[in-house]
């Protein structure tokens, strides 16, 4: 389930933590928790699509690459990132960041879109 | 944790926007599951509790950046909060915030539900122990040569010749002493480098439109990314990367 990608983000992990607490207390059932997580998957996808406008370009050294099940997994080194809040707002609004080591976990956008479409229809 | 980019007073649009977007996601999710909660017969109070737990976790992680003071030091890039973002209102709230507190505790309280215009979470500097994902790093125990000598009953020096009767015992003690050097035990395992906690390692989660390689040159086109860098989250609509293998 590639739309589960964002579950390991901070917002996703926070949700999982919160749900676990409630589950341990017996306040919500596992089924309900699962339902919340699925809703989160859809919501984060929508948000990233519609509410976010920032773009970025980055360069670095590639140490490791993996591709399996439509998922690319890169490990980069000495990365420089340039982030700008919206398309074409460049110039002074740009933020430059650097990372010594960064991991990219990427799923195929076509697969995600297809899965999202299925969910919507089903 | 050093930030190569330096402490920029205007953690700009990109960083601040995450708060608004995350808030939107939380609202979305809560609204959409309300029906399910009702169907299961679960009290709405539990839903509220879920929301507040969720929000406080996010705040605790400190990924939302801190309130910045625009009148404070400006970086030479003169980054400004881009009004193009959805959060122009939050930008003005930011300007109003005078100081930043250290602990995330008060920050958690700042997230009241039902209040759209929330004050920006004040999380201060990224706390060193920000994440609860306890990575208990196993440090190998350091062999103590003098200690072993003391423990060896009746043997003053492990390396010297010992009476036959006490030899077995000395051997055991020697083993204890040398265990960490010669034998492989669980303490010797290297912390699995790949298994670093997802929150302490800089990572980007997203989708790729295209991944292209030409000899050692890789180019990727990405979309819908959540970038976690130095303990902060940045959301990206599109991203392009070039790397050399």
**Domain locations in chain B as residue ranges:** 14-64, 199-244
* 0.80 surpassed by pTM: no
Which pLDDT score, from 0 to 100, does residue A52 have? 87
- B14-64: which CATH topology? Helix Hairpins (1.10.287)
**B199-244 has which CATH code?**
2.30.18.10
Bigger pLDDT: B199 or B202? B202
As a whole number, mean pLDDT of residues B201-210 equals: 91
Which pLDDT score, from 0 to 100, does residue A90 have? 63
DSSP letter assigned to residue A93: G
Of B24, B80, B198, the CB nearest to A51: B24
Collect all residues of chain B within an 8 Å Cβ-Cβ radius of residue A98. 3-5
Asked if the Cβ–Cβ distance from A97 to B4 is below 8 Å, we say yes
DSSP B210-237: EEEEETTEEEEEEEEEEEEETTEEEEEE
Distance of CA B169 to the CA centre of its chain: 48
Which pLDDT score, from 0 to 100, does residue B43 have? 85
Q: Residue A46's closest chain B neighbor by CA?
A: B25
Q: What is the pLDDT of residues B65-120, one digit of tens each?
A: 544 333 333 333 333 333 333 434 444 444 444 444 444 444 444 444 444 444 44
* Model ipTM value: 0.89
Long-range contacts of B96-100 (CB under 8 A, 24+ apart): B97/B67, B97/B69, B97/B122, B98/B69, B100/B66, B100/B67, B100/B124
Residue B40 has pLDDT above 50, yes or no: yes
Among A residues 89-108, those touching chain B with beta carbons less than 8 Å apart: 89, 92-108
Residue B25 has pLDDT above 60, yes or no: yes
Of B25, B50, B132, the CB nearest to A44: B25
Residue A45 has pLDDT above 80, yes or no: yes
Rounded distance between C-alpha atoms, residue B54 and residue B52, angstroms: 5
Collect all residues of chain A within an 8 Å Cβ-Cβ radius of residue B218. 62, 65
Which pLDDT score, from 0 to 100, does residue A29 have? 86
Assign domain A1-52 one CATH number from 3.10.129.10, 1.20.120.610, 1.10.287.190, 1.20.1260.10.
1.10.287.190
**Cα of B161 to nearest chain A Cα, Å:** 52
Which pLDDT score, from 0 to 100, does residue A122 have? 52
At residue A71 the predicted structure's pLDDT band, cuts being 50, 70 and 90, is: very high
Residue B215 has pLDDT above 70, yes or no: yes
Q: What is the pLDDT of residues B142-183, one digit of tens each?
A: 766 665 544 444 444 444 444 444 455 555 555 555 555 667
As a whole number, mean pLDDT of residues B204-225 equals: 93
Collect all residues of chain A within an 8 Å Cβ-Cβ radius of residue B61. 10, 13-14
As a whole number, mean pLDDT of residues B17-21 equals: 80
Q: Are B143 and B180 in contact (CB under 8 A)?
A: yes
Q: Are B232 and B15 in contact (CB under 8 A)?
A: yes
**Cα of B69 to nearest chain A Cα, Å:** 16
Q: Residue A42's closest chain B neighbor by CA?
A: B29
* Lowest-confidence pick of A19-23, B23-27, B66-70, B185-189: B66-70
Coil, strand, or helix at residue A66?
Answer: strand
| Mean per-residue pLDDT over chain A, rounded | 86
Residues 6+ apart with CB under 8 A from B50: A18, A19, A22, A28, A36, B30
Domains of chain A, by residue range, sit at 1-52, 53-108
Which pLDDT score, from 0 to 100, does residue A58 have? 92
Of A27, A74, A108, the CB nearest to B207: A108
Which pLDDT score, from 0 to 100, does residue B181 have? 61
Q: What is the pLDDT of residues A77-118, one digit of tens each?
A: 999 999 887 766 666 778 888 999 999 999 998 888 887 777
Coil, strand, or helix at residue A26?
Answer: coil
Which pLDDT score, from 0 to 100, does residue B114 have? 43
- Residue A12: name the closest of B25, B111, B201 by CA: B25
Which pLDDT score, from 0 to 100, does residue B133 have? 45
What are the C-alpha distances in Å from B180 to residues A56, B29, B107, B126, B165? 47, 51, 45, 36, 26
Residues 6+ apart with CB under 8 A from B158: B148, B149, B152, B170, B173, B174, B177
Which pLDDT score, from 0 to 100, does residue B39 have? 85
Measured in degrees and rounded to the nearest 5, phi and psi for residue B13 equal -35, -50
Collect all residues of chain B within an 8 Å Cβ-Cβ radius of residue A50. none
* Lowest-confidence pick of A54-63, A107-116, B118-127, B180-189: B118-127
Asked if the Cβ–Cβ distance from B46 to A35 is below 8 Å, we say no
**Cα of A55 to nearest chain B Cα, Å:** 5
Which pLDDT score, from 0 to 100, does residue B192 have? 53
Which pLDDT score, from 0 to 100, does residue A83 have? 87
| Mean per-residue pLDDT over chain B, rounded | 63
Bigger pLDDT: B76 or A51? A51
Which pLDDT score, from 0 to 100, does residue B37 have? 86
What is the number of residues in chain B? 245
Of B32, B229, B239, the CB nearest to A55: B239
Bigger pLDDT: B224 or B3? B224
Answer yes or no: same fold for B14-64 and B199-244.
no
- A53-108: which CATH topology? TATA box binding Protein, subunit D; domain 2 (2.30.18)
Which pLDDT score, from 0 to 100, does residue B240 have? 94
């Amino acid at each position: 389930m590639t739309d589960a990608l964002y579950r390991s983000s901070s917002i996703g992990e926070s949700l999982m933590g919160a749900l676990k607490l409630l589950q341990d207390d017996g306040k919500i059932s596992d089924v309900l928790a699962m339902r919340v997580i699925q809703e989160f998957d859809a919501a984060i996808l929508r948000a990233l699509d519609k509410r976010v406008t920032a773009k970025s370009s980055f360069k670095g050294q590639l140490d490791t690459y993996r591709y399996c099940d439509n998922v690319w997994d890169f490990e980069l080194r000495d990365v420089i990132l340039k982030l700008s809040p919206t398309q074409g707002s460049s110039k002074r609004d740009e933020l430059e960041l650097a990372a010594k080591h960064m991991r990219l976990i990427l799923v195929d956008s076509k697969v995600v879109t297809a899965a999202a479409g299925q969910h919507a229809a089903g | 944790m050093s930030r190569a980019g330096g402490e920029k007073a205007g953690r700009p649009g990109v960083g601040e926007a995450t708060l608004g977007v995350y808030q939107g996601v939380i609202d979305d999710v809560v609204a959409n599951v309300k029906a399910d909660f009702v169907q299961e017969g679960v009290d709405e109070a539990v839903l509220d509790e879920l929301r507040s737990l969720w929000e406080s976790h996010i705040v605790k992680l400190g990924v939302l950046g801190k309130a910045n003071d625009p009148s404070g030091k400006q970086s030479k890039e003169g980054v400004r909060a881009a009004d193009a973002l959805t959060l122009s209102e939050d930008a003005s709230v930011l300007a109003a915030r005078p100081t930043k507190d250290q602990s995330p505790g008060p920050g958690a309280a700042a997230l009241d539900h039902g209040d759209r215009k929330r004050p920006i979470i004040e999380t201060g500097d990224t706390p060193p122990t920000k994440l609860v994902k306890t990575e208990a790093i196993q440090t190998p125990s350091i062999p103590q040569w003098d200690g072993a000598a003391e423990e060896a009953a009746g043997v003053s020096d492990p390396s010297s010749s010992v009476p036959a009767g006490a030899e077995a015992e000395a051997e055991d003690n020697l083993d204890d002493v040398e265990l960490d050097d010669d034998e492989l035990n669980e303490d010797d395992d290297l912390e699995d480098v790949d298994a670093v906690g997802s929150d302490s390692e800089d990572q980007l989660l997203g989708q790729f439109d295209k991944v292209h390689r030409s000899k050692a040159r890789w180019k990727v086109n990405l979309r819908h990314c959540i970038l976690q860098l130095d303990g902060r989250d940045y959301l990206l609509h599109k991203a392009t990367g070039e790397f050399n293998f």
